[in-house]
């Protein structure tokens, strides 16, 4: 069972800084456990919330603070559209981060004529990466978002992908929330095989679904776990009323 922690920060901007420090810490802990020579594996979320984080990681400050040449980056899901499409998570993360960051190993979810072929290709890619050091979790850090219906990645309520246990990546023919395009998503088997995982959520529109999740409702986002730590990083607008608020800014 992971150590579960919730951090409420004052704003979406503060959330991006807190998330960057969370990622740095998660990778430092992973290197301490696995040694400095192992490639680190990080799985990123799509959607709009983490975009500020990705833009922050692209700044010179973070260019110096992360071991970019030892990180392989993966995606928790993508919309099944060309990589130059406005709905593509690969497109969003490249524009916000990788186009401006130091050289690093980016593994986008493939797009092509057949969604099942692409899903199986990503499944194989993840298995091959993990086979290199099967003794460690698949990921050293996973960043998740949560949709208004409680989905995470492209694991939507009531859909078959929620119970797939023999795959790391699957095709999701029908999205349960916009954009209503087919998706490819990592399964819980993949997403939960992580040393450290953080949810990022911001904005008043997320308070209701987070309140339901924190109350124990069995929604996909609540099925996310991790080996060592699961951290909810929320801004005040999104945080359920039951959670303590940040104190006054230090003098
Ligand atoms: C996606 C994401 C998805 C996202 C949630 C929240 O492809 O859209 O992976 O799981 O995290 O839908 O999206 P927002 O951050 O835009 O609210």
Cα of 77 vs centre of ligand 1, distance in Å, is: 9
Work out the pLDDT band at 214, boundaries 50, 70, 90. very high
Confidence of residue 244 (pLDDT cuts 50, 70, 90): confident
- pLDDT tens readout for residues 94-149: 999 999 999 999 999 999 999 999 999 999 999 999 998 878 999 999 999 999 99
Q: What is the pTM of this model?
A: 0.97
Output the residue whose Cα is nearest ligand 1's atom 7: 46
CA distances 187 to 28, 70, 151, 152, Å, are 26, 25, 12, 10
In the structure, what pLDDT confidence band is assigned to residue 198 with cuts at 50, 70 and 90?
Answer: very high
Residue 219 confidence (pLDDT) above 90: yes
3-state SS class at 184: strand
- For the sheet with 77-79, list strands across it: 77-79, 183-186, 169-172
- The pLDDT tens digits for 39-76 are 999 999 999 999 999 999 999 999 999 999 999 999 99
Nearest to 141 by CA among 57, 207, 246, 210: 57
- DSSP secondary structure code for residue 147 in this structure: -
Q: From atom 8 of ligand 1, which residue's Cα is the shortest distance away? A: 47
Best CA proximity match to 174, nearest among 189, 158, 188:
158
25, 54, 196, 229 from 30: Cα distances, Å: 9, 20, 9, 12
Ligand 1 atom closest to the Cα of residue 154 is 10
From the list 169, 156, 164, the residue with the least C-alpha distance to 219 is 156
Q: What would the mean pLDDT of 17-22 be, rounded to a whole number?
A: 98
Helix and strand counts by DSSP (H, E) for the chain: 7, 10
Distance (angstroms) between ligand 1 centre and the Cα of 247 equals: 29
Ligand 1 pocket: which residues have CB below 6 Å? Answer: 45-49, 76-77, 89, 145-147, 151-154
Give the model's pLDDT for residue 251.
Answer: 45
């Amino acid at each position: 069972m992971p150590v579960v922690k919730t951090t409420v920060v004052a704003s979406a901007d503060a959330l991006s800084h807190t998330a960057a420090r969370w990622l740095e810490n998660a990778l430092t802990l992973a290197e301490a456990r696995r040694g400095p020579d192992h490639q680190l594996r990080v799985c990123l979320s799509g959607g709009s919330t983490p975009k500020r984080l990705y833009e922050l990681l692209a700044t010179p400050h973070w260019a110096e603070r992360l071991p970019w040449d030892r990180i392989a980056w993966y995606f928790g899901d993508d919309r099944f559209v060309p990589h130059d499409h406005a709905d593509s998570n690969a497109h969003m993360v490249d524009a916000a981060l990788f186009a401006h960051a130091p050289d690093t190993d980016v593994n986008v979810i493939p797009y092509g004529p057949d969604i099942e072929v692409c899903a199986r290709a990503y499944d194989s890619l993840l298995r091959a990466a993990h086979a290199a050091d099967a003794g460690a979790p698949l990921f050293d850090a996973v960043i998740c978002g949560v949709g208004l219906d409680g989905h995470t990645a492209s694991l939507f309520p009531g859909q078959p992908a929620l119970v797939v246990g023999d795959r790391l990546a699957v095709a999701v023919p029908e999205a349960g929330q916009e954009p209503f395009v087919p998706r490819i998503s990592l399964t819980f088997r993949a997403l939960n095989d992580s040393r450290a995982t953080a949810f990022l959520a911001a904005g008043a529109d997320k308070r209701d679904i987070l309140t339901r999740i924190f109350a124990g409702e069995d929604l996909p986002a609540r099925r996310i776990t991790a080996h060592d730590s699961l951290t909810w990083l929320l801004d005040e607008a999104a945080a359920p009323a039951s959670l303590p608020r940040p104190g006054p800014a230090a003098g």
